[in-house]
A and B are shown apart, each in its own frame.
Chain A
């Protein structure tokens, strides 16, 4: 098993570039494929090698399926990408699955809508004050011939606090960089350390299998630039060290959020308590459940914001079942808690053990993790087409994963948007839920607040929609060798306007 070559992967997989507080995302199309490849050859793309101190600037690049096609990628390579990547976010059936309906539907998006085209995403990060110069460095004369900017997504440095007022990106999986993890078929308890193959292609995932990705027969043109596929030595691995990237512009209606809470609370303190219950953390990031006494693999014992799971709160009395962080990561193992052994474990495996409505209703966390790399925006940062209803603050949500269907899409549909998550009734995610009713069924705008005792819990109804999706797309974040291959292996001189 080869160690990870950090010079082969784009830096964003390993680093969040927290010190590079200035950041913008350029969404562009290809005007001229030849020039685009020419620009790509010398683009200063940042790799994942750790430096003594954070760099001044960073550049990362990702492509849509159309982008790879327009760049001149061969059909046999393109065909090997995943179905989700090919059909994209702007597909109505997928939008329904992901809850992008009503005024969040792709046809209303400011970017990435079915009528617009997106080829490339450039992620520019810089130290304070250095972003404009960095942009100029990247946008060379060749750049101007090669690309047309669709939109420039600016971000704001809110010190890691999203506009509702809570810290964002606190929980992240720890990647198994040293490749020491060998997942068991059944991992009884929660682990925060996940196989590299859950984020990077070309490595074994949590099933101990290599996720599907484009492979090319060794010996064809320019394939020597690519590494050999670990699981298929006769093939070159285009996907290795690459990842699928999701970018979604989520607009937050902060005013409405706090107005609604104050309207339903006696005082400001209660409003804050209700908001914390919706998130599952207090404003300082402290989780609502008590810290776990046993160590969690992949969590530093001093990291009080992550040293916990929900096993200590089986009735949702401290952190509601429907709280955002409990949905986004239920922090469970493959078996229901509490842990049992011997005959009881066997009975549990056969579904014959003791159970409640909630005890075995969730999927196991480790198969549905994502690595988040989003940034906040506030102020005049949305594209100029922003309509009057726009609140112009929110998150450019970004995540990396190896399998869009099993990770991002599952998490978004089965956990966040589902009104039936964890055997709940008529609740959707209090922060991001779309409150879209099911025809003929009860409304889905409830949220249950925690209480010291069962039966005393207060339910608030009529939650409005607080978050609206304004844009989004699936991208592929290639490895650095794959970028070199793309720059070398264009087959057409087709010009796309």
Chain B
């Protein structure tokens, strides 16, 4: 099993560089929202381990809201950010990128404040890497190659069934399945079809994961007496905040929502990036960090097989602290339109949204951290749309494949490889194709 890694490089832009960076990023597109494989900067489609990649300028579009907490509203850094969801190790990917597109990366990142030609690009990128506070992968271990191979397998099987080479109506479902098995083996032998077996799980990863699984609950148990004593005060404080924190949700600027919409829905999968300031104060930060730790833990040990709570349309997601944990970026890849994505969230995991986002400035009023909040549906959608960043470059290695498609293809492959199946199971399996 090859674990996935969420990669993020971010560096503050030089003053005034935003225009030229915007132009450079646009040059990587055929049109807004559509990546151009012929672009002269980074051939994103050439990396066999890359699921999705994004390049964007991260800036607080609702920076003026910070005034409600007396925070400065200008002079905030703007970042050039590169996001990638990959199979395997970051260092390997980084080296691949530098080998293939070192020049393009340097052209882009040269507009960053911290960039220097003195150090090798690889070292600089590593220094500019930001780890997510929490990250989610729809299906851990499913690689780019696997997704591609399994989709090809499905199309092969579908075509075979259509051409009637296996006569469904007269034979049993199980016989059909076995016939398909033989067909696939033959195709594999002839080299027309490939189904790579999974790579072995890196041993260090397995050990770290096991330690993580145990260590976090252990620490929580150890500190729980202290937490229990503090809990009433904490809850009192949280309720006080909740009663007083203002929701800041003026209408979304029309040009802004038009720009975002122009980049969306070019195919079935979309990208989403929101960035904003956290409400000030150390205690709040502690609460956010604690909640994200729990989010990360559950994503790592519970929700890594097709769904994040009830939502099964998210491919990848991450929560990242920036600016010395004063601001936060949330970034995800999802299926469907933004409206359906938000509705899914509000109606299916409203509590999760409230937990992880309610410490952002402007979020609709929550109750006991879990309740209300995003149930104020339109206010919530406005807050998010206002903080949403245009993703200037967006690359998807699997156009047209939703998380459900990938899952279905995996079930098809698993079923095909089974030694034997009951007639009922075989019929259900055939229905998947």
Contacts and interface: CB of A to CB of B under 8 A. Distances in A.
Interface of A: 79-80, 83, 86-87, 91-94, 96-97, 185, 207-209, 211-212, 315, 334, 348-352, 355, 357, 360-361, 363-364, 367, 403, 405-406, 409-410, 413-414, 418-420, 423, 425, 438-442, 453-457, 459, 461
Given A357-B408, A413-B337, 5 more contacts: A80-B251, A83-B257, A97-B261, A97-B337, A413-B265
Nearest to A336: B310
B268 interface: yes
Contacts of B309: 350-351
B308 interface: yes
Contacts of A185: 350, 375
Contacts of B151: 442
Interface in B251-271: 251-252, 254, 257-258, 261-262, 264-268
Contact of A83 (B168, B254, B411): B254
A36 to B, nearest CB: 26
A207 B168 contact: no
Nearest to A424: B404
A104 to B, nearest CB: 15
B155 A96 contact: no
Given A357-B407, A441-B401, A363 B340 contact: yes
Interface string B335-355: 111011001100111100000
A255 B340 CA distance: 35
Contact of B347 (A91, A93, A364, A414): A364
Contact of B339 (A86, A93, A360, A406): A406
B113 interface: no
Contacts of A410: 337, 339-340, 343
Contacts of B77: none
A351 B307 contact: yes
B311 interface: yes
A315 B432 CA distance: 11
B308 A351 contact: yes
Interface centre among B169, B252, B310, B311 (most CB of A within 10 A): B310
Interface stretch (B232-240, B387-395, B422-430): B422-430
B376 interface: yes
B427 A453 contact: yes
Given A363-B347, A454-B428, A423 B335 contact: no
B377 interface: yes
B378 A97 contact: no
Contacts of A94: 261
Contacts of B348: 351, 360
Interface string B318-332: 000000000000000
A276 to B, nearest CB: 20
B400 interface: yes
Contacts of B194: none
A455 B268 contact: no
19 contacts: A315-B431, A349-B310, A351-B312, A357-B408, A357-B411, A357-B432, A360-B307, A409-B339, A410-B340, A414-B337, A418-B336, A419-B268, A438-B399, A439-B267, A440-B399, A440-B400, A442-B155, A442-B400, A456-B168
A83 B428 contact: no
B310 A438 contact: no
Given A94-B261, A351-B303, A211 B378 contact: yes
Main secondary structure on B side of the interface with A: helix
B265 A438 contact: no
B37 to A, nearest CB: 11
B254 A367 contact: no
Interface in B141-186: 151, 154-155, 162, 168-169, 173, 176
A87 B252 CA distance: 13
Given A360-B312, A363-B343, A455-B426, A207 B405 contact: no
Given A367-B343, A441-B400, A93 B258 contact: yes
B5 interface: no
A99 to B, nearest CB: 10
A357 B403 CA distance: 10
For the complex of A and B, 6 pairs with smallest distance between CB atoms: A441-B400, A455-B427, A455-B430, A438-B400, A423-B404, A351-B309
Nearest to A405: B339
B71 interface: no
A413 B341 CA distance: 12
Contacts of A208: 375
Contacts of A363: 340, 343-344, 347
A97 B347 contact: no
A448 to B, nearest CB: 9
B266 A96 contact: yes
B258 A87 contact: yes
B128 interface: no
A334 B268 CA distance: 24
A200 to B, nearest CB: 16
Nearest to B346: A207
A478 B48 CA distance: 56
Nearest to B253: A83
A212 B400 CA distance: 34
Contacts of B154: 425
B253 to A, nearest CB: 10
B264 A83 contact: no
Nearest to A356: B428
A94 B376 CA distance: 25
Contact of B312 (A86, A96, A361): A361
Contacts of B257: 83
A420 B347 contact: no
A252 to B, nearest CB: 25
Contacts of B400: 438-442
Contacts of A315: 431
B404 A334 contact: no
A93 B308 contact: no
B381 to A, nearest CB: 8
B340 A413 contact: yes
Contacts of B340: 363, 410, 413-414
A207 B428 contact: no
Nearest to B382: A212
Contacts of B344: 363
Contacts of A420: 268, 335-336, 402, 404-405
Given A185-B375, A363-B344, A455-B168, A438 B267 contact: yes
A207 B376 contact: yes
B107 to A, nearest CB: 28
Contacts of A403: 378
B378 A209 contact: yes
Nearest to A317: B431
